[in-house]
Structures are given as structure tokens and as C-alpha cells.
Structure 1
Amino acid sequence: MSTPTTPSKTTAAFYLQAGIAFAVSFVGTLLGIAYLPIDAWQRGFLGMSLLFLVTSTFTLAKVIRDQQEASTVRVRVDEARLEKLIAEHDPFKAAA
């Protein structure tokens, strides 16, 4: 039986690039909203929409990551072992 390969780790450079890209796009959008020629309540609505979009994006990314991790072979093997232990356990058998 072959051992499953571990997923590749994210490099520090890619992590930094993703963080910088997020910060630049977020600040750019905030500045764009701030300088729009609209009323304050419209500007506030756009700002709240932006914040909701960002938080829902993080939530979606976490859900997708969790789903991917749950489908890995290692997790399924661990679940099968646990189910086997539970099935073999007899709670009425006296401890030796």
C-alpha cells in the first residue's frame, strides 16, 4: 500500500504576496468609496457592503479548506479506525 503524499506547503513569498494583494485591493476600494461624489449614507452603505464581502469571503475560503481536508485519505483512514474501535468495544465486558 502506498503512502499518501502530503500536500505542498505554501511558501513565505506566496503568503506575503497574497497578503499584500489583499491589503492593496482593500485599501484601494476604501479610498474609492471615500472619494465618490455621493452622500454619506450611500458611502456608508458601500463601506458596509465591502466589509460584509470581505468577511463572507474569509468564511467561504475556510469552508472550502475544511471540506478539502475532510476528504483526504488520511482523515478517512483515521475515521475508519475509530469506527472499528467503537464497533469492537463491549461496554458490558469487565476490564481485565
Structure 2
Amino acid sequence: MSNPASAEHSSAWVSFTYASFIGSVAMMVGGILYLPLEIWVKGYMLMGVMMLIQSAITVTKTVRDVHESRKLLNRIEDAKTEQLLMRIDTGK
């Protein structure tokens, strides 16, 4: 189901967001690898970064899904209201 009210992102914007994400992960991993710490500390920090990335992706998907479901619910309620108003208008 397509939503005409939502704007499609340009391919340049999508490419920029992927490049930005990959660049930030690479810089964070590089920074962790070059820290003057023992390997187990670096591994712990890397696990934390990976979990942070995973949870950020999960939160953004959940926020989007909740927003989309509310839009659908509002459209259903609007359709019911419109149907009720049509019944009232035809009854006069």
C-alpha cells in the first residue's frame, strides 16, 4: 500500500545515510582498536558499540512502526466518521 502523502527519499540522500552510518561505525571501531588497552577491554567496548547500534536500529524501526500504525488507525477512524456523516446526510 503506497502512501501519497509521504515523500520518497532521493537516491543521493539514501546513499548519504548509508555512507554516514558505515563511516561512523568504521571510525568507532578504528578508535577502539587503536586504544592503548588490553584486548579484552577493547572486545568489551566493541560489544557495547554493536549492541548500541542494534538497539538504535530497533528503536527507530519501532518508532516508525508505531507512527505508521497510528496513521492507519486515524484513516480508519476518518473513514468511519465519513461513512456515518454520509448516512446522516442521506437520512435528511
What is the TM-score with the length of structure 1 in the denominator?
A: 0.72
Instruction: Output the amino acid matched with 1:7.
Output: S
Aligned to 2:52: 53
Aligned to 1:7: 6
Q: Which runs of 4+ in 1 moved over 6 A?
A: none
Aligned to 2:32: 33
**How large is the Cα RMSD of the aligned pairs?**
1.9
Aligned identity (percent) is 25
Higher helix share: 2
Superposed, which structure 2 residues align to 1:54-73 within 5 Å? 54-72=53-71
State the aligned residue count: 76
Aligned to 1:92: none
CA distance in 2, matches of 1:31, 1:17: 21
Segments of structure 1 that go 5 or more residues without pairing to the other structure are 82-96
Aligned to 2:23: 24
Segments of structure 2 that go 5 or more residues without pairing to the other structure are 80-92
Instruction: Output the amino acid matched with 2:36.
Output: P
